[in-house]
Structure 1
Amino acid sequence: MKWTTANLKNPNYSENHEIYVGTHTGSFKKITVANEDKPFLQQNLQEISKLDKDSRVTALGFGNEDKSEVLIGRANKFVQVYSLDTQMAQTNLEMLDAPVVGICRYDTQLIAGFGTGKIQKLQIAEDMVLSAGDNIAHLRQCEVERKLVATGGKGRQNNLKVFDMDAGKQVFSSKNLPNDFLELEVPVWDSDVGFIDANTIATCSRHGYVRLYDTRAQRRPVQKYATEDQMSFATLVARDHYIYTGTTMGAMKAFDTRRMKNFVHTYKGFTGSISDVHLDQSGKFLVSSCLDRYVRVHHTDSCVMMYQCYVKSKATRVLIRNAVGKEKTDDDVVLVGVENGEEEEDDDDVDEKPQEKDDEYDEIFNSMPTVGDKDSDDEEQKEKSTVKRKAEGKNRKNKKKKKNV
């Protein structure tokens, strides 16, 4: 699909999705893509007037397995637990530091990571604070083992680290690659991390590399992708054998963990830095937020852009889930052109109504030849013309014979 600035929805995109967007201005929005009549309608779930000027959304994540609550981290030390069922903020906590670069939930505990390198665990008898360096960019939780969280940041002291929040200690720390041919240290900047499983972790960097770690094998990456081109990765999401990354130059790439020599997919349509990416439950659709103020949905296999919506503010974080509610039935289908409160007439009733007789129409219709009649007339005309030509030819021959005699 060609690049365009218009809101669009692919006719083949019929998934029952809801998209939640956090913006640079601090607004938290909901877009119901499954709404057939208004698929681009945006609903502000929080009043912007009550938000602080420095309340931009810096972290967004689901708080439970059924995805009925959203954890919102902001740049002003505050974290909110928002219930999607009641559409109200249940908890508003002031954190230890700011900005919040990642937030997740484990049982009844909230785990938040800050840009200063600290990790705070709340809602227990005594708050726990761990150190992950001094400048981390992101914190992610493992969906398989929810007690595990991973962090990554800028500099060798802020490389990939994995923490066990039950034990309250660090269980893994990555090791940098060997020095280059000039014996200089390879620069490190893990801008985002993602769990593939409990032991396999992917990272991307502003320095243009994507690395894959196996905590059971070694501290250095087991596979990696690196390029000399100006490709600065800002965010990623990993699932099964694939890693989906977004860059600061408005490009989105997909990598296969079984062959990391090059990327396998490229997704187009962006005009700004990609700030966040997220997969739906099936893994077939990839939603992304971009600083060009658009939210987009791509099909992971075909790379086709299925949906694009302008959200009026710079989108910083995005989530996607299946809409909750009963499935549509034949009785729930609303037909286009039928006003509310009006009943649609059945087809059987329409057929039974007597229609007015139109003599002029009947005369025109009766005078129209059928296909079969036309064909037979043409064949008959051809036979007559053939017989006539033969007769004329015989007459000419007879006249010539008489003249010769």
Structure 2
Amino acid sequence: MAARRCHVWLGAESGILKGVDLRRKRAINFTDFNRGQEISEIAWKDREEREVLLGCVNGTVKVFSTEKENVTEFRDCSGGEGPLRGLCVYNSSLVTCTESGLLKVWNEGSTDHVEVGRAVCRMRQDTTRPERVATGGKENALKVWDLERLQEPVFTAKNVRNDWLDLRVPVWVRDMQFIPASDKIVTCTGHCQVRVYDPSTPQRRPVLEVTYDEYPLTALSLTPDANSVVVGNTRGQMAVLDLRKGRLLKCLKGQAGSIRSVQCHPTLPLVASCGLDRFLRVHSTETKMLQHKVYLKSRLNCVLFTSRGNWEEEDAECTALEGVKEEEGDEIWDSMATVTDRTESKRNMDQQEDPKRRKRRKQTSTDPGV
């Protein structure tokens, strides 16, 4: 099962779902080329990671089975305008959000929906409390919604104070993530800021703000300990920022184009990133070294890490299987008869022939009267 060996899944502009086996540095296309169904969102449908949700720009949601290795379900989730900016599952119901701001919960036979504001850049679900999602975008402040009660947001962030020229600071939320074991939310903006909000306090402005470089930030992901966040920008730069002290820890180098998606492994100190340069890269968040680099031929929109952490055991198992196959192959080769070249075989026969007989055969072949 090639799909079960994949450690990273990616969605491309070409509409292809790609799976990557990092141990073998092997990439496999699991769906066909379809430019009209560009994959803009990707997420796990179940905790066992047997099915992958694929959100396409035309509003179609596909379900890919990692066991059957094909698309098992199509669903038309069109509505609103623009591509999907968020996709998740709550109580066996799909939850989608479009760029125009239409947030929908697709229950059986009915749908609940709410307008969350225009120019949405991202919708994210709280993994510890799946009934909560966060939204934000350009001139669309961070909001937290309860999927059980969609009438009003649970939390709405307040813009920061005016700058030193007493001018209003523009709002541009590009990505966000809930910090586990707390009510806090970390966001990144198109104006280079990383901000932390705490809805449990009366303060609606950020409780922490860090500025990284001078290019718009596009994606973020929390490290497994939730003390740091990895961010990427339109310049292809990535960095690990400390959320406790608000400082830069390290830079992750190697990218050559705008970063579209970043995801940290749930348990291992690894972070995967992809973007316009068509490469999947996996860095170590501890040593900042590039661990894996795989060329995937298409411009990439989104990346999804598997939660499996027993890679060493998988490597040992795969190595053992390969050793068994090699031994079986050696036995087969040893049991096969040796086939020699006809010219070489004839030369060997000539050498073994009696010299007098060889001389007599040559005279007979050159005699013109024969």
Give the structure-2-normalised TM-score.
0.81
Query: Is the alpha carbon distance of 1:331 and 1:232 closer, same or farther for their aligned partners in structure 2, counting shifts above 3 Å?
Result: closer
Corresponding residue for residue 150 of structure 2: 168
Contact 1:283–1:300 at 8 Å: present in 2 too? Answer: no
Deviations 1:239-271 (Å, cap 9, x if unpaired)? Answer: 4111111110010011111111x3111100011
Structure-1-length-normalised TM-score: 0.74
Q: Find the aligned partners of 2:318 and 2:14 in 1 and give their Cα distance.
A: 41
Q: Return closer, same or farther for 1:276/1:335 CA change in 2, 3 Å cut-off.
A: same
How do 1:188-199 residues align onto structure 2 when only pairs under 5 Å count?
Answer: 188-197=171-180, 198-199=182-183
Contact 1:17–1:320, Cα closer than 8 Å, also in 2: no
1:255 equivalent in alignment to 2:247 = no
| Partner AA of 1:251 in structure 2 | Q
Deviation string, structure 1 residues 153-207 (Cα, Å, up to 9, x no partner): 001xx11111111222421110000112322110110011111125110110111
SS at match of 1:341: helix
Match of 1:265 among 250, 271, 274: 250
Q: In the alignment, which residue of structure 2 is the partner of 1:245? A: 231
Q: Residue type matched to 2:107 in 1? A: Q
Shift of 1:336: 10
Q: Secondary structure at the match of 2:47?
A: coil
Question: Paired residue for 1:288?
Answer: 273
Give, in whole Å, the separation in 2 of the partners of 1:159 and 1:276: 21
Q: Is the 8 A contact 2:188 2:219 kept in 1?
A: yes
What is the alpha-carbon distance in structure 1 between the residues aligned to residue 291 and residue 31 of structure 2?
Answer: 28
CA contact (8 A) 2:6 2:19 kept: no
Match of 1:9 in 2: none
Q: Which has the higher contact order (CA 8 A, sep 6+)?
A: 1
Match of 1:159 among 134, 141, 144: 141
How many Å separate the matches in 1 of 2:325 and 2:89?
46
| Contact kept? 1:83, 1:90, Cα under 8 Å | yes
1:148 to 132, 152, 170: 132
Q: Is 1:43 equivalent to 2:43 in the alignment?
A: no
User: Equivalent residue of 1:342, what SS?
Assistant: helix
Contact preservation (8 Å) 1:81, 1:91: yes
State the match for 1:100 in structure 2: 84
Q: 323-332 or 143-152: which moved more?
A: 323-332
> Structure 1 residues 178 and 27, CA, compared in 2 at 3 Å: closer, same or farther?
same
Residue of structure 2 in register with 1:276 after alignment:
261
Are 1:25 and 2:14 matched, yes or no? Answer: yes
Alignment of 1:304 onto 2:289: yes
Runs (5+) with no aligned partner, structure 1? 1-15, 345-405
SS at match of 1:42: strand
8 Å Cα contact 2:267-2:307 kept in structure 1? no
Residue number among 184, 187, 205 corresponding to 1:220 in the alignment: 205
Question: Any conservation in 1 of the 2:250–2:288 contact (CA below 8 Å)?
Answer: yes
What SS does the corresponding residue of 1:334 show, helix, strand or coil? helix
Unaligned runs of 5+ in 2: 333-370
**Aligned residues of 2:15 and 2:32 also touching (Cα < 8 A):** no
3-state secondary structure, aligned to 2:174:
strand
The alignment partner of 1:332 has SS state of helix
1:314-329 → structure 2 map (5 Å cutoff): 314-322=299-307, 327=314, 328-329=316-317
Q: Deviations along 1:323-352, whole A, 9 cap, x unmatched?
A: 6998544993424994753249xxxxxxxx
1:56 corresponds to 2:38? yes
* Equivalent in the alignment of 1:332: 320
- What's the RMSD between the two structures over aligned residues? 2.4
Instruction: Return the alpha-carbon distance in structure 2 between the equivalents of residues 313 and 26 of structure 1.
Output: 9
Find the residue that maps to 2:7 and give its secondary structure. strand
Q: 1:305 to 1:336 in 2, by over 3 A?
A: farther
Aligned residue pairs total 319
Query: Deviation digits for residues 3-60 of structure 1, max 9, x if unmatched?
Result: xxxxxxxxxxxxx8611111111111111123xxxx2322111122xx3x33211111
Counterpart of 2:191? 207
